[in-house]
Structure 1
Amino acid sequence: MKRTYIGSLVDIVPAKRKIQNSRRSETLVYNLKKGTEKMRVCKRMFLSTLGVKEWTNVSMENRRRYSTTEKKNLLKKFFMELPKMPSHYCRSSTSKMYLEPVFQSKMDVYREYAKYSDTQKQKP
């Protein structure tokens, strides 16, 4: 509910100026409602007024971007090839698989994915 409300107040508009060698083509516009009217505000005021942190805002931004089916398929293939083991609670009747404890952090998993995508000649 909160994410939906925040998402309704953030608009994505085309960038007014294109800077050379920049991949950014869109700008985020933050609004607050006053009655039925939307008022444009800066990002800092938007976040502090709604009492949300930067990560909430970033996750809302990233949610709007869609990846290609090639990238999704590459990621699925990568996950299928990771070392897995069954749950230790009920091995005889479980269908869930868990990663073997070879990774120390999410960053380690990403590094492996980056290497894997390089071998497949695709960007991570």
Structure 2
Amino acid sequence: MNENGDDVKKRVCRNMFINTLSIGEKTVRSWTLSDQPSTSLENEDHQAQIRRQKSNMVKNVEEFLNSLPKVESHYCQASSNKLYVEPLWSSLREMYRFYK
């Protein structure tokens, strides 16, 4: 912006701009090709929605993990109160498939 408050376009080197901000080329394209710039209020609403989704996701994963059967350690029962997930799956990949 200049001193009158008008937007002024400046030509810059795309690669230097991308590298300086550590962003991807797709991000810059989406900024320059968007028809309507998003307002800060829309952006805040979107961020709040993302936070709620992440919170719900974490809550669901915690509920899933808490619902799994657990066993005590065989080696250090007296000195530890840790619980371990009962070995129902041979890998984390199988556990994830079950969760999905």
How does the TM-score come out when normalised to structure 1? 0.40
More helix by share: 2
More strand by share: 1
How does the TM-score come out when normalised to structure 2? 0.48
Please tell me whether Structure 1 or Structure 2 has the larger radius of gyration of its CA atoms: 2
